Structure 1
Amino acid sequence: MDPLTHALSGALLVRAAEPVLPKMQALPLRARLIAGFTAAAFPDIDVALRLVDTLSYLNWHQGPTHSLVMLPLWAFLLAQLFSRVTRSHYSWRLFFIPACLGMAIHIAADLITAYGLMLLAPFSTERFSVPLAFVIDPWFSVIVISGLVMSQIFPQKQSVAGLALACLGFYVVFLGTLHGRAKNIGLAYAGKMALTHAEISVLPQPFSPFNWKIIVPEGEIYHILLVNLGRSSWAPFPDIGLLSRMDTVYRPQTMANWQQLDRFGDSPADATLVREAWHQPALADFRRFAIFPQLDRIDTSEKGVCVWFYDLRFKFPLLPPSFRYGSCREQGSAHWYLQRQKGAFWID
């Protein structure tokens, strides 16, 4: 989720937990909310890795700061910080629970996106993900903001924040049903194409909870469908800009067409070069990051050649792929080196 929604959700959970955790009320309401807000924003402090280099950030984002194992440690450190900021007017113990709640809801919200969390760090770098929601989900944000606003308007109604959390829960269940429908489409296609051992991946897409990308791998071939599960018919939308054109790419199931992409491109003449570039040590960190690697293009010039790759998780209609990395070498040299190409967003 986006950082602001994360932070606000922490404040909402702290507000909702008041009836069942009355000890928190030893802290003033403002202090509790600020603690929950700050703790829910804290895990994304790993964005500082972006100052080192983008690949370090990509491989360690949603890593140790998003670990359930390390959550108590981070909450303890944050509680100590909050206590010091208040000049010891309140014990760190009073801040510990709000800090835990804020971090917990951040982890839960990121778990339902496609990136993947190292929940067991530092004991394991395995990533866990239940991809139900796109990283920016306006409906999720609206529910969180509405819950906070209503709990402020009706401060005596302690159930208001809890009701908003229940709405979030129902919304996630709704996303789960859409995820299941998308996966069934992929399973039906795999059965039709006799892809008996294919692992079906479904990824939430921008603009609408009904927009999904379905990926059915077949060796080095990806079968891809962009589909909208909420539309029964389709007609061109008024062209009011790039976003409207992007959204029209997601069509109803009856009108959506499967595409096939070869991981290393569809040119046999370039296959040897592309594979050589892909397996170079220079791309080792990118290979570790990319779940669905795909050839972007080959740039050749008098100076040399660059073979560019991206991850299908971060390719959206009509936009250049995010996180593109190339394996390059100069003319006459056998040495390959890493290059990065900027995309449409600042984090690229």
Structure 2
Amino acid sequence: MDTVTQMLFGATVAQAGFRRRLGRKAMVAGALLGMVPDLDVVVGWVAGPFANWQYHRSLTHSLLFGPLVGPLFGWLFWRLHRAMVQERPDVANRDTLRAWIWLSILALITHPLIDLFTSYGTQLLWPFSTYRFAINAMPIIDPLYSLVLVVALLFGSLRARPALAQDVAGAALLFIGVYSCMGWAINDRVQQIAAEQFDGPAEIDAYPLLFQPYYRRVVALTPEAAHVGYYSVLNPKPITWQTFPQERSTATNAVAATEQAVLFRWFAMDKLLWREESDGNGGRLVEATDLRYGLQGNADIGFWGIRARVGPGQEVQGPVEVFAIPRDSSRAAFRRFWAELTGW
């Protein structure tokens, strides 16, 4: 999920479990802790997109990160809490320290767990495995998901009874759990429908589109082509497939063997479309696009990819570069999206 939602979620976890014991300061701490794992994006800012693909959602998103680092954060928050409320003799006791430690562990460990429900891929078992786990249940940004957390936190920030504030936060977390599982079920259903409608064997995956869980982009991948379609459970109708041929040549093999392409293939979880064309100088321009993310219009095949030039001798010339495909953000595109989602 996006970092703002992660902060909201961390604060809600803190409100649900620790509002009565630690007060409203727990919510602030939970929000800060919810942001911590996403600080790994700094690597990408410094070292570029390839480093971001490799290291984002790895160390800080491992299931080990919270239990190992959480006690340190808990101790720091406990020390800060003790310094701020010196007039209360009970804040220095072991129960309070234990509460801060558990708050920190839970806020850090729930971060990768809700990321698991998106398509990006999360290395939950790092460093023992670099496998990228993804359920494809929820979009990275969902306004309803975030709004429920905001409402719970607004209630908790008021001078309401702490026990009631905890109950409201618990109800919000329960809603998020049910909502996410609903998105998971929708995805499985759309994949089943796509398999029934697609003519022939294929590896079929459905992916959530922007801001909601009901409208899905479907990719049917075969050795010869990638077939892309869209399906909304709110507006069911036959899937119209677009076909994009999959290039398999010496030139694409040369690019696929590069270190950058191997990394990109791992990052994209092997969901790639390979294309090539003449570069006008006797060589070929080869591109690989990540098929997991896309949108109707300019970006039907994806949002980003890599490209490289291959010379007449089938050698890769120059660096392997990252490119982005622009998305149609016009009002007409939004109206089309809404009409396909709802049927209105």
TM bucket, shorter chain:
0.7 to 0.9
Aligned to 1:277: 255
TM-score (norm 1): 0.79
- Do 1:328 and 1:339's aligned partners in 2 also have CA atoms closer than 8 Å? no
Tell me which of 245, 248, 255 is aligned to 1:262: 245
Deviation, structure 1 residue 53: 1.9
CA deviation vs aligned residue, 1:257-300 (integer Å, no higher than 9, x gap) = 022222228xxxxx443343333445232232222111355462
Aligned to 1:100: 105
Looking at both structures, which has the greater relative contact order when contacts are Cα pairs under 8 Å and sequence separation is at least 6?
2
TM-score (norm 2): 0.79
Q: Which runs of 5+ in 1 are unaligned?
A: 232-251, 266-270
In 1: Cα distance, 2:219 partner to 2:62 partner:
28
- Do 1:221 and 1:261's aligned partners in 2 also have CA atoms closer than 8 Å? yes
- Do 1:300 and 1:306's aligned partners in 2 also have CA atoms closer than 8 Å? yes
Aligned to 2:336: none
Mapping for residues 305-344 of structure 1, pairs under 5 Å: 305-320=284-299, 321-329=302-310, 334-336=315-317, 337-344=319-326
SS at match of 2:24: helix
Aligned to 2:72: 77
Tell me which of 197, 204, 207 is aligned to 1:200: 204
Deviation, structure 1 residue 323: 3.0
- Do 2:219 and 2:228's aligned partners in 1 also have CA atoms closer than 8 Å? yes
Mapping for residues 57-206 of structure 1, pairs under 5 Å: 57-83=52-78, 85=80, 93-153=98-158, 155-156=160-161, 157-158=164-165, 159-190=167-198, 193-195=199-201, 198-206=202-210
SS at match of 1:318: coil
SS at match of 2:264: helix
Deviation, structure 1 residue 105: 2.4
Aligned to 2:14: 14
Aligned to 1:226: 230
Deviation, structure 1 residue 8: 0.8
In 2: Cα distance, 1:175 partner to 1:282 partner:
33
Deviation, structure 1 residue 70: 2.7
Aligned to 2:217: 213
Deviation, structure 1 residue 205: 0.9
Deviation, structure 1 residue 36: 1.0
In 2: Cα distance, 1:167 partner to 1:204 partner:
19
Aligned to 2:88: none
Q: Look up the equivalent residue of 1:277 and give its one-letter code.
A: V
**RMSD of Structure 2 on Structure 1 (CA):** 2.8
The verdict on how the C-alpha distance between 1:333 and 1:210 changes in structure 2, with shifts beyond 3 A counting, is closer
CA deviation vs aligned residue, 1:73-92 (integer Å, no higher than 9, x gap) = 12123224434555766665
Deviation, structure 1 residue 99: 1.0
Q: Does 1:293 align with 2:287?
A: no
CA deviation vs aligned residue, 1:292-316 (integer Å, no higher than 9, x gap) = 1113554624596532221011222
- Do 2:59 and 2:127's aligned partners in 1 also have CA atoms closer than 8 Å? yes
Deviation, structure 1 residue 100: 1.4
Deviation, structure 1 residue 222: 2.3
Sequence identity, in percent?
26
The verdict on how the C-alpha distance between 1:343 and 1:262 changes in structure 2, with shifts beyond 3 A counting, is closer
- Do 2:214 and 2:233's aligned partners in 1 also have CA atoms closer than 8 Å? yes
Deviation, structure 1 residue 206: 1.0
Aligned to 2:338: none
- Do 1:6 and 1:40's aligned partners in 2 also have CA atoms closer than 8 Å? yes
In 2: Cα distance, 1:329 partner to 1:260 partner:
25
SS at match of 2:227: strand
- Do 2:137 and 2:181's aligned partners in 1 also have CA atoms closer than 8 Å? no
- Do 1:38 and 1:102's aligned partners in 2 also have CA atoms closer than 8 Å? no
The verdict on how the C-alpha distance between 1:155 and 1:303 changes in structure 2, with shifts beyond 3 A counting, is farther
Q: Look up the equivalent residue of 2:11 and give its one-letter code.
A: A
